[in-house]
């Protein structure tokens, strides 16, 4: 499924029942193998082709969309998005491909471990490098210097991008 697995850097994720990891993409654009050690999680994945329809903020890998309570009046392009909904429990491993958006809910107190592998294409690896090495720092600089105004600009850009795709097949 994936080459160049980074076994030296496993990550552990702990959460209590009801905890939520808001929808995001991993900054480095790596593939992720998420193994549930204890408990149960709900994981919802979205193809990166939906990034604009998910109202992705510029200079980042996040959105304000709440997939459990979608506000189609505020985010009309969401109606065009389709995801994959999984429930994993102790012993299960879920493969999350490079660039996929993911939303995680802890259905029980849970411990999970992830192992990553490099993105499969040079383009995705360069995007990950840009995200980690440049865009995040620019975003922080603008946030520091402009405060709420910067966040408002990012929201307007995200809406403009999504609105341009309304009723366009993705």
Which domains, ranges and CATH numbers included, belong to the chain? 5-163 (2.60.120.10)
On whether the pTM is more than 0.85, the answer is yes
Three-state DSSP string of 77-105: HHHHCCEEEEEEECCCEEEECCCCEEEEE
Q: What is the pLDDT of residue 170?
A: 66
Q: What is the pLDDT of residue 169?
A: 73
Beta bridge partners of 42: 87, 105
Contacts of residue 135, Cβ cutoff 8 Å, sequence gap at least 6: 59, 60
Q: What is the pLDDT of residue 6?
A: 63
Measured CA to CA, the distance from residue 39 to residue 107 in angstroms comes to 8
Mean pLDDT by 10 residues, the chain (170 residues): 63 93 93 96 97 94 93 94 97 96 97 90 92 92 96 95 83
Considering Cα of 41, then 108, then 110, then 136, what sign does the dihedral take?
Answer: positive
Q: What is the pLDDT of residue 95?
A: 96
Q: What is the pLDDT of residue 11?
A: 84
Beta bridge partners of 95: 33
Q: What is the pLDDT of residue 5?
A: 63
Q: What is the pLDDT of residue 120?
A: 86
Mean pLDDT over the full length of the chain = 92
């Amino acid at each position: 499924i994936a080459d160049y697995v980074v076994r030296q850097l496993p990550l552990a994720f702990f959460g209590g029942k009801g905890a939520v990891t808001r929808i995001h993409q991993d900054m480095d654009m790596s593939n992720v193998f998420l193994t549930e050690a204890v408990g149960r999680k709900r994981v919802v994945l979205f193809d990166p082709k939906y990034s604009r329809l998910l109202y992705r903020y510029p200079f980042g890998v996040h959105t304000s969309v709440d997939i459990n309570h979608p506000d189609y009046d505020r985010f009309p392009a969401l109606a065009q998005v389709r995801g994959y909904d999984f429930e994993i429990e102790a012993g299960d491993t879920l493969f999350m491909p490079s660039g996929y958006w993911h939303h995680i809910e802890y259905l029980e107190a849970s411990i999970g471990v992830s192992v990553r592998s490099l993105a499969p294409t040079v383009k995705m690896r360069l995007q990950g490098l840009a995200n980690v090495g440049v865009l995040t720092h620019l975003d922080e600089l603008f946030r520091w210097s402009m405060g709420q105004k910067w966040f408002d600009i990012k929201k307007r850009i995200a809406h403009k991008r999504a609105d341009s795709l309304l009723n366009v097949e993705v």
